[in-house]
Amino acid sequence: MKLSGIEMRKKVIRYGLEFLVVFSGILLSFVIDNRIKVNERIANKDLLLNQLTVALNEDRIQLEVVKSALDNCLVSIDSLLENHSRRNLNTKSVASHFSNVSARMSISFFPQKSIYNQLINSSGFELIENEELKKGLTDYYEHLSERNNSINIKLDQFNQEFDYYFIPHINYVTSLNQLDNSVDLSSSISIYTIHDSFYQNASLGYLTNAQKRIVFYQELLKKYEETLDQVFDELGDNN
């Protein structure tokens, strides 16, 4: 039976409306699903930023520990340099200060990076709207870390040379103190021997070189501290 023009138009309109309803439903489900996923990503980003704040606070504490250790190390180097000019052999303080330098000179600061990596891998970093916060985090975890790694490679090499050089010139036995499952670097000297060769010019060169490298590393720690302050300011504004 042949359909009239009016009936044909009605069928076309009906099928068109049905298609629009189905298509709109599918489109709406995609929009809702996408919105849910975006909200989940935002919630995850906020959670990670809260966890990052905790990690950064722990970094700040660790940074102060490293700064204090290096300041203490510089005091010992100053004492050894003064002693070197006086040629005051076989004093226990020389062995004690040298032990302090040898133990603390290699101490470095490394930020906790796991939460930041989660932010990057989960694309949460892209959802941070505060551009200054993103810049601060990138400086802290990427740019400064690259400098830190480069400096530490050279420091480790120098520290090894430093210890190897002084082995024939000064010998001592330390009594390590156990504190909460860690070793107290301020250990006491029980036996020591300082040879005349300890006061060679090369020894003076190694001590002044160690002093220079520590001061240089402290400048990097100041950059870390400044960037941390900036990140905390932006995190406060972000809440």
Predicted confidence at residue 182, as pLDDT, reads 43
For the stretch 38-71, pLDDT in tens is 666 777 788 889 999 999 999 999 999 999 999 9
* Higher pLDDT, residue 221 or 39: 221
Predicted confidence at residue 192, as pLDDT, reads 87
* Higher pLDDT, residue 189 or 161: 161
Predicted confidence at residue 181, as pLDDT, reads 46
Predicted confidence at residue 228, as pLDDT, reads 95
Predicted confidence at residue 44, as pLDDT, reads 78
Answer yes or no: are the C-beta atoms of 195 and 170 closer than 8 Å.
yes
Predicted confidence at residue 81, as pLDDT, reads 92
Mean pLDDT of 97-103: 92
Cα–Cα nearest to 108, from 141, 41, 75, 59? 59
Q: What percent of the chain has pLDDT over 90?
A: 54
Residue 18 pLDDT class (50, 70, 90 cuts): low
Q: DSSP assignment of 51-70, as one string?
A: HHHHHHHHHHHHHHHHHHHH
Q: Which range (77-81, 116-120, 182-186) has the least confidence? A: 182-186
Number of folded domains in the chain? 1
Q: Please check the confidence at residue 190 and state whether its pLDDT lies above 70.
A: yes
Segments in the chain forming alpha helices (H): 5-86, 92-104, 114-121, 131-138, 144-166, 201-238
Mean pLDDT of 89-108: 87
Predicted confidence at residue 227, as pLDDT, reads 95
Mean pLDDT of 77-92: 83
Owning domain of residue 122: 5-238
Answer yes or no: are the C-beta atoms of 192 and 175 closer than 8 Å.
no
Q: Please check the confidence at residue 139 and state whether its pLDDT lies above 60.
A: yes
Residues in CB range of 179: below 8 A, 6 or more apart = none
Predicted confidence at residue 10, as pLDDT, reads 64
Cα–Cα nearest to 226, from 162, 116, 143? 143
DSSP state of 106: T
Cα–Cα nearest to 136, from 220, 216, 56, 46? 56
Predicted confidence at residue 42, as pLDDT, reads 74
Q: Please check the confidence at residue 186 and state whether its pLDDT lies above 60.
A: no
Predicted confidence at residue 174, as pLDDT, reads 80
Q: Please check the confidence at residue 212 and state whether its pLDDT lies above 50.
A: yes
Q: Please check the confidence at residue 14 and state whether its pLDDT lies above 60.
A: yes
Question: Average pLDDT, whole number, for the chain?
Answer: 84
Burial annotation 196-230 (CB, 10 A radius, 16+ → b, else e): eebbeeebeebbeebbebbeebeebbeebeebbeb
Q: Please check the confidence at residue 224 and state whether its pLDDT lies above 90.
A: yes
Q: Which two tokens stand for residue 143?
A: 């740019």
Cα–Cα nearest to 223, from 161, 145, 149? 145
Cα–Cα nearest to 192, from 92, 106, 103? 92
Answer yes or no: are the C-beta atoms of 127 and 231 closer than 8 Å.
no
Residues in CB range of 230: below 8 A, 6 or more apart = 132, 136
Q: Could you give the CA distance from residue 230 to residue 136 in angstroms, rounded to a whole number?
A: 7
Angle between helices 201-238 and 144-166 (to 10 degrees): 160
Mean pLDDT of 124-144: 92
